[in-house]
Structure 1
């Protein structure tokens, strides 16, 4: 297989994992399979760390509509609100909290 084919397979796996997370149906088996495939790509020199980060960022943006950093910040803010003011947290509609 060529490099592009291998990278495309991993991109699809990553997209599937993110889509399942977004739908609230995270699948650890698929996640670990994608991680193992990525590890093999890295060890064989098919992808660089820079390429991996770019692909993850782009796929995350495509699926969630926000960058990895933006999602982490939003989730951290919601978790802090839940800890400090549970009433205010639960006043936010679940659909909005889930994002």
Structure 2
């Protein structure tokens, strides 16, 4: 029992040490400003906007703000919210709008 506690504690300490050792990356917009961590929705918004503009530097910057799994969740959430907003604006169902955006025939 004590061995498992010791192993868990050492694993936690190694992860905490790795987090502290990571260099803080300054971005174009935050150089010299007070730094605060980005949340996954900020990262998703910046990532998607950079993809639309085909700006590889900004894509890589936004992808580095959060873990890859969190970024995927954020992009998915952004897509869902955008689809809902567009469907309300068009007064159509989200399914119809999604198929329209993808160029698929109406179901």
Please confirm whether the aligned pair reaches a TM-score higher than 0.5, indicating the same fold.
Answer: no
**Normalised TM-score (structure 1):** 0.35
Comparing both structures, which one devotes a greater share of its residues to helix?
A: 1
Structure having the higher Rg? 2
Ranked by relative contact order (alpha carbons within 8 Å, sequence separation 6 or more), the top structure is: 1
**Normalised TM-score (structure 2):** 0.34
